């Protein structure tokens, strides 16, 4: 089923119609909120699109997994570690992270860092 979710523009807050932000509470992750923009509920069979917001000092897990990532930064500044290289990124920068590449997203800055991340749906239960 095709769908459109309108962006709700508010200063420093990124939100979309009918998308509930979810705070991620897991070991190795701090200050991260996930918005599933396109996923299982949209009956998307091939990919998942998420928006992540990292608060100041926040970071994702340092991890590797079989799915690749396509990323575009929309808000603030942050860093992306791919293998042994850490690169500062800003709005409209894009990144491709290869499958099984060690990676981490971090926000060492004072303002929120937000980015869209698209991954392939490798299993039906993925989000």
User: What domains lie within the chain, and their CATH numbers?
Assistant: 28-107+114-120 (2.60.120.10)
Phi and psi at 40, nearest 5°, equal -55, -45
pLDDT for res 52: 98
Residue 97 in tokens: 């992270």
User: pTM for the whole thing?
Assistant: 0.89
On the question of pLDDT at 104 being above 80, the answer is yes
Q: Give the residue among 15, 55, 60, 12 at the shortest CA–CA distance from 36.
A: 15
pLDDT mean over 45-68? 95
Residue 76 in tokens: 């603030």
* Higher per-residue pLDDT: 1 or 124: 124
CA R_g for the chain: 14
The percentage of residues in the chain with a pLDDT greater than 70, rounded to a whole number, is 88
What is the DSSP code string of 43-54? Answer: T-SSEEEEEEEE
Cβ neighbours of residue 75 under 8 Å, at least 6 residues apart?
Answer: 12, 14, 53, 91, 112, 113, 114, 115
Write the pLDDT tens digit of every residue in 1-49. 555 666 676 666 788 888 999 999 999 999 999 999 999 888 888 999 9
pLDDT for res 97: 94
């Amino acid at each position: 089923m095709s769908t459109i979710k309108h962006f709700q523009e508010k200063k420093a807050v990124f939100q979309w119609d009918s998308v509930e932000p979810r705070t991620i509470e897991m070991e190795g992750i701090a200050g991260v909120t996930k918005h599933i923009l396109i996923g299982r509920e949209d009956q998307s069979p091939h990919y998942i699109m998420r928006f992540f917001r990292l608060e100041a000092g926040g970071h994702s897990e340092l991890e590797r997994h079989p799915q690749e990532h396509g990323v575009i930064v929309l808000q603030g500044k942050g860093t992306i570690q791919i293998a042994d290289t850490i690169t500062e990124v800003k709005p409209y920068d894009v990144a491709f992270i290869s499958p099984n590449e060690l990676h981490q997203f971090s926000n060492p800055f004072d303002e929120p860092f937000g980015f869209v991340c698209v991954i392939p749906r490798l299993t039906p239960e993925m989000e």
